[in-house]
Structure 1
Amino acid sequence: MGEHVIKLPDVGEGVAEAELVEWHVKIGDLVREDTLLAAVMTDKATVEIPSPVDGEIIWLGAEIGDVVAVGSPLIRLKVEGGADAPSEPQAETPRTPTPNPSPQGGGEPVAAPVETARVKTAPQSTGATQSPSPLWGGARGGGKPTSTGAPRAEGERPVASPAVRLRAKEAGLDLRQISGTGPAGRISHEDIDAFIARGPQTAPATTRGLAQNTAVEDIKIVGLRRKIAEKMSVAKSRIPHITYVEEIDVTALEDLRAALNKAKRPDQPKLTLLPFLMRAMVKAIADQPNVNAIFDDEAGIVHQYGGVHIGIAAQTPGGLMVPVVRHAEARDIWDCGAEVNRLADAAKTGTATREELSGSTITITSLGAMGGIATTPVINHPEVAIVGVNKIMVRPMWDGTQFLPRKMMNLSSSFDHRVVDGWDAAVFIQRIKTLLETPAMIFIES
């Protein structure tokens, strides 16, 4: 037996360090060559690290959230044969090119002691294809095991060679449930064959009543979630927010939207409310360009943009991301809808580029059907305004003579009070309200 050391590889583009955001393995796991071991995040992308060899994980050199220097020892494996030289595997192609928080902290990786290795119950397969390897073959000759001792206690490490452990892992077997006939209860291939031949062992059913759950799980904020936390902290600590909520009758807009969707061409996207809101915002910004801006508060300069680059806050499996529809002023309803769909898919699948996730001058945030009655959206720093969409509800509204069912929706919008006065915020939202309640005006070019 020997050891193989894997160092953090050079992930390219002059990156000197990376944040560890995910372990795909733990101490005691058996891995094949090319098994994914970890994922690290730079300010450019998330990169996955594969194993260059077969072996058993005996040491992990960092914890989730640690910033590791390129070339630092990351993993040690027990391998067949003699000790190998330290390895720097080739990093996989970046899978999620999203912005990453600036590294926090650092220091040397913390070594985990070898004796803490454990084999997880019912380990999942790595998905590797079994090949005719000298690690194991079919059923072996010899008599049946002479020992049928009780399975090992919880936490007790089974004694077995890496080849036996790997065979058990890929077969979905828990070595703690297999009695070993070798010295010190060592498990052999014959013991595995005998266990398989006996068939599944059904544990007796137990009745469990109500019980207190006193577990506490510590979840470290890393990767994209840490980036979101930092950005929200900056936005709330540096921007004095003013939030303005107004209700809008979208009955006519919803009727128009349904009619347009019914008559749309096959190559046109299904319209949601967002493209109409985007076009309304473009028209309102033409009257009040001061809300389409970025405030450099350190330099004391407001950068007011002619182009309307609308960020669309989107929830993804990894957290909140804001892809940007550039130059919404030059797009019609259908083009806005198609671009929103494209960017939302790219964000959710992790294929959005850095350019598609930056450069917004004003943002829309929407929780769809979960939008609630009102929200207090946080401005996407360093912008000065964000428009929040709440859910549509049918409510009885008085028209002067009677109550009529109308489709009502609130807009909850926040503004940087250092740049936008409350009056200007109200005028901006009232202009949007007029356009959405009389949707034909959205299509009139002034």
Structure 2
Amino acid sequence: MDFCDLSGKVVTKNNINYDELRQVLNRSIQNFPIAIVYCYNYDDVSNAIVWARKNDISLRIRSGGHNYQGFSVGNTTLVIDISNINYIDINEENNYVKVGGGIKSSKIYKELSSYNYPFPGGTCPNVGVSGFITGGGWGLSSRKFGLGCDSLIEVEIINYQGRLIKSNKFVNDDLFWAIKGSGGGNYGVIVSMTFSLLPKVDKVSLFSLYYPHASRNTQFEFFNTWQNWIITASNDINMRCGIYNDLTDGIYVSALGLSYNDEITTTKNLEDFLNIKGCILNIENIPLFEALQKIQHSYPDYEYFKSAGRFVYKNYDTYEINHLLSIINDSRPYGSYLTALNMYGLGGNISKTKNNDSAYYYRNAHYILSLQTKFESNDYLISNTNWLSNHYDYLSSLTYGNYINFPYYPLKDYEKEYYGYNLDKIRKIKEKYDPYCFFNFPQSVTF
């Protein structure tokens, strides 16, 4: 195949680095594109789109490669990699920051926090911000500042014709609405994003809770405390937490959180958790950037895993909690070194926006509940896939809707699950801006 009309850096199967460069975060996903084009500017992106249409080749769009189902890379596709379009322009006078579509969380955190500006991003350093915000964008600052997409004020995308389109609340406002929560890769390639600058922050309190060798009673107490605490907690605090069955450390409970208060206030806000026997609290009031670095430091470059995350709207009774705990307390699937029941705090300023004010529908959920298994290699893929599948129906029976940034590929009626009652509007916008469904993948928006 002739790749001469492509600009940027083109990597094909003949390239010595092809096998490494086709990989994504979740190594349980293995796809083989015909080529990867690394784009350095808007023209490179436009050329790639036009070339793919001319040659009847399917496209995938990759910035960080962190889609849990690996939808940013596909077999016999052309991958548009925008990771090198990663500029950042901080405009304090007009209170905005404009960034390239391929920027990662680590870079935007570093640059903004050097001016003491927070950013409502995620916790993993290599997540592409464009993929993050198109799924809504959960993070430890979400209860205080809203989702990542809530600070977005403008995007530029390159559409199926290779044309640059600007979208904000005044121009192409329907597309702007859709981009905020209907998932990445559905309407075109995002090449720039502009965000409002948030109020400056000097220090934050970074904390962790740890319950080693947690008994079943401790697990129950923690879960029950969590489900009540997250409803009434201050908007200034949030955490992700979980109950884990670890090959090395056994069963334990752990939480990582961020508070925009001092140590004394934060400790008081965590009092209910501290009253659970065996709790080990670590807390430090440190500069924002130092806290962000510590949060991001624990993430590996890649993993083998299967997971699914759904929204919780109610408190669970004793039977329901114990059933969830049984999933983790039972033996791990063959080849798994960690199974987890994870919780990600919602509420606060996330719920101040109405369900239909952006494509992200699940504004009133209390938290995201996720099941995950991690394993050593794809030699154990089937057993771990089956484990998640076997428990998914029960998880689904207790929850409502699936978080699109934690996609689950076997999901039935996935569009309804991801988008709720915003689906009809999303489909109309898809038809308007991508009338031939050129941007498609296994769980893309259809019409």
TM-score by length of 2: 0.24
TM-score by length of 1: 0.24
The answer to which structure, 1 or 2, has the higher relative contact order (CA under 8 A, 6+ apart) is 2
- Please say which structure displays the higher CA radius of gyration: 1
